[in-house]
Amino acid sequence: MAKLHISTTINGEPEEFLCAPNETMLDVLRNRLGLTGAKEGCGSGDCGACSITLDGTLVCSCLMLAAEAEDKEISTIEGMADGETLHPLQQKFLEEAALQCGICTPGMLVAAKALLDENPDPTETEVRFWLAGNLCRCTGYDKIIRAVMDTAAEMRGATK
Partner 1 sequence: MTDIQYLAPTTLDEAIRAYAAADGTGHILAGGTDLLVQTQAGMVQPGLIVDIKNITDVTGIERAADGGFIVGAAVAGAALEKHTDFATAWPGVLEGLNLIGSTQIQGRASLGGNLCNGSPAADSVPALVAAGAILSVQGPDGRREIAVEDVPAGPGKTNLKPGEIAVSFAFPPRTKGASDAYLRMIPRTEMDIAVVGCGVNLTIEGGVCTAARVGLGAVAPTVLLVEKAANALIDSKLDDDAITAAAAACSAACNPIDDKRGTVEYRTRVAGVLLKRVVGIAAERAQA
Ligand X SMILES: Cc1cc2nc3c(=O)[nH]c(=O)nc-3n(C[C@H](O)[C@H](O)[C@H](O)COP(=O)(O)OP(=O)(O)OC[C@H]3O[C@@H](n4cnc5c(N)ncnc54)[C@H](O)[C@@H]3O)c2cc1C
Do the Cβ atoms of 112 and 133 come closer than 8 Å?
no
Write out the binding residues for partner 1, residues 101-140 only, by CB under 8 A: 111, 114-115, 129-134
Contact track, ligand X, 34-53, x by CB under 6 A: ----------xxx-------
- The torsion angles phi and psi of 87, rounded to 5 degrees, stand at -65, 145
45 touches ligand FES (CB under 6 A): yes
73: β partners: 9
Between CA 142 and CA 160 the distance in angstroms is: 27
Give the C-alpha separation, 26 to 62, whole Å: 5
Count of CB atoms situated within 10 Å of the CB of 123: 10
Q: Of 7-15, 36-44, 65-73, 89-97, which part binds ligand FES (CB under 6 A)? A: 36-44
Q: x/- string (CB under 8 A) for partner 1, residues 20-39? A: xxx-x---------------
Return residues touching partner 1 (CB under 8 A): 1-2, 4, 20-22, 24, 43-46, 48, 51, 54, 57-60, 62-65, 67-68, 70, 111, 114-115, 129-134
